[in-house]
Structure 1
């Protein structure tokens, strides 16, 4: 899926007009309009680990003694093998059969008596999610509703992967069913949060994943959030990258994608709110890919990042596995349903990942998404408060160049010209820009490193320069890339490819200073220069 490179959405055009009015009128009217529509504070983020209901040995989630195990995500409800619209636990038990064979209803009631709660996850990788096989809209809604009613759940988790995710017709049915069910429940005064749990790589959601989110938004579903499976990254994992770092990178990219998906749906949300609509689910310990292991250090790093950004949810696969494998389990690279494959000592992944996630599934389900028009001030770039040059449409930028655009700093991944830094593309490889982060309060333009007069000759428009010759231009050292005469180094800022001059980097200037070639101390800025 791609987006036209320079097309601005209707909402971006509206924002441009608002910015113009704000600047002309001192910004007062625009600010008041923005401030009056901000959403209520988000509920506290929550933790609920997955429990595989049908795995053996059976996990006693009802006997939880720690807060990290008091709220669980029971998995997986799927379609019966022979009855397309009948919900079952992993095709092994109908809900009635699970009540008898697994004592499931009684165990859930026991957990709830102790202040715990459950949510139900539909789908998974191995079987058909209800929408994949149940094609009758009314029967499909009734099937979902029967599960929520049975287990008194206010949250539905749609774990869509594999063939279930690539089936776009099933996705349309699923989205329509969620919209109908959510509207009916809310009209009756009941809560229903809808979470999508989707596979992700370090570049974020796959195209099938972004399509699933778009289908929900187009159908009018108020999505509580997108929970990404930060696991089994495969070839998208960088060399030497830890599972924790990869999980963080995946969350960052999915945050960018989710913001674009809401923007494309005509729903304005702030970056902070988008973070509350994200969740992460690592596979603790040994992953399915033998080379990937999610350690306790990875768990601590992911938890710290998620709390810092304000993600709305943390989960893990699974509570069944949150224990060191016994001595009889020799091959720890082979994934077990009942142990993690790593030496945990006295630690539990659930405790590390849940730390700071003080919210509850039920209270979070009460949240209704409120549109938040973006503060117009955030679109106005001031050269005096921008650390780097403001992006210009007619300028060229070399790989590594940093610019400011809409109060954010971007860095070029390769040579680029006429490419918007915040172009709303869903896939990161479609844009030459990487978002580095926001312009910070109190920032000023990065000082360009200079060298003392006399270090090199000052540029002379009448002089002839050969490749490798160096000059000073306003104190900044430049080196000639080829023979030149009359070409000013000033052209580098707007046409770095066309000009024969390239400025020396901070590292090169530092090397000159340390070697004593300058003859005296140079005026060095602490920040790196572009190029």
Structure 2
């Protein structure tokens, strides 16, 4: 959310068959200490007149599901800025209540994934948030989106998951960012699969999940590749990779599939167009999205 033009979720769903979108990212409003805003922009502060509640509301009214993601690669995640647990709890709760959502995601990457102090605060508050909503007769499902390598989570990513588990967070999904591994990794479909398998194995080392079967562990894992060209050359996630990953997910009951990102699912208008706008492949618009949906 926040890119121009604003995504029309209803039309994207109609065009692709996708029924759930993760809206990203809510971070701290620039110049503030604990005010949630899309992309950090004051104009898009949550609760304001341009906070996309109309866009999200229309999609929900059409039967779609919206997951709001906090964090991301840019901006400051709320737990890195809010100075008290109570302020952080209010900020997260304000977002949930504003959009009447039942699922949230925390995209913890870059410097944030190495910040154990902030993550323990985040985990502690999220656990309290879940308890608060249960007391109101509601549930809030929580997913963690973290960086990964082809063999699984790195030390910081695994520690982040451990801290959420230790705090008592009921974690629905550990979503791995199957992208940007490094220039020596090019078989992106296979690497996405082995990253998910490795992550499931790592989850078993956490006491909360030690008793789960392999099938249930895979059901806790999500896979999110970066479609088309990745930020790291020569990594390219192709349509063949999309079919391969979708087939693996269908056959093995993997818990979630996402991709970065819907608005990139189109060819570039010119060679100079930024990677954040398109895949830099010659595939028609929505080719990846439709391949994923049909593969599941």
Aligned pair in 2 of structure 1 residues 336, 268: CA closer, same or farther (>3 Å)? Answer: same
Q: Normalised by the size of structure 1, how large is the TM-score?
A: 0.53
Q: Does 1:68 align with 2:17?
A: yes
Tell me how many residue pairs correspond in the alignment. 293
Q: Normalised by the size of structure 2, how large is the TM-score?
A: 0.94
Q: Does 1:245 align with 2:184?
A: no
SS across alignment from 1:118 = strand
Aligned pair in 2 of structure 1 residues 143, 236: CA closer, same or farther (>3 Å)? Answer: farther
Q: What's the counterpart of residue 305 of structure 1?
A: 248
Aligned pair in 2 of structure 1 residues 62, 79: CA closer, same or farther (>3 Å)? Answer: same
Superposition deviation, residue 81 in structure 1 = 2.3
Counting helix residues as a fraction of each chain, which structure ranks higher?
Answer: 2
Q: What's the counterpart of residue 291 of structure 1?
A: 234
Aligned pair in 2 of structure 1 residues 173, 236: CA closer, same or farther (>3 Å)? Answer: farther
The higher radius of gyration belongs to 1
Q: Does 1:94 align with 2:45?
A: yes
Superposition deviation, residue 354 in structure 1 = 2.7
- Runs of 5+ unmatched residues, structure 1: 1-52, 358-531
Equivalences for residues 222-237 of structure 1 within 5 A: 222-234=170-182, 237=185
**Separation in 1 of the partners of 2:134 and 2:143?**
16
Q: Does 1:258 align with 2:203?
A: yes
Q: Deviations over 1:78-120 (max 9, x none)?
A: 01222221111111121234x33x6x11111211221112110
Superposition deviation, residue 58 in structure 1 = 2.8
**Separation in 2 of the partners of 1:57 and 1:325?**
16
Superposition deviation, residue 235 in structure 1 = 5.0
Which of residues 115, 121, 133 in structure 1 aligns to 2:63? Answer: 115
Which of residues 138, 141, 153 in structure 2 aligns to 1:190? Answer: 138
Q: Deviations over 1:409-430 (max 9, x none)?
A: xxxxxxxxxxxxxxxxxxxxxx
**Separation in 2 of the partners of 1:200 and 1:344?**
26
Superposition deviation, residue 349 in structure 1 = 1.0
Alignment root-mean-square deviation, CA: 1.7
**Separation in 2 of the partners of 1:257 and 1:68?**
33
- Is the 1:202–1:236 contact (alpha carbons within 8 Å) kept by the matching residues of 2? no
**Separation in 1 of the partners of 2:142 and 2:244?**
27
**Separation in 1 of the partners of 2:221 and 2:228?**
22
Equivalences for residues 453-464 of structure 1 within 5 A: none
Q: Deviations over 1:12-38 (max 9, x none)?
A: xxxxxxxxxxxxxxxxxxxxxxxxxxx
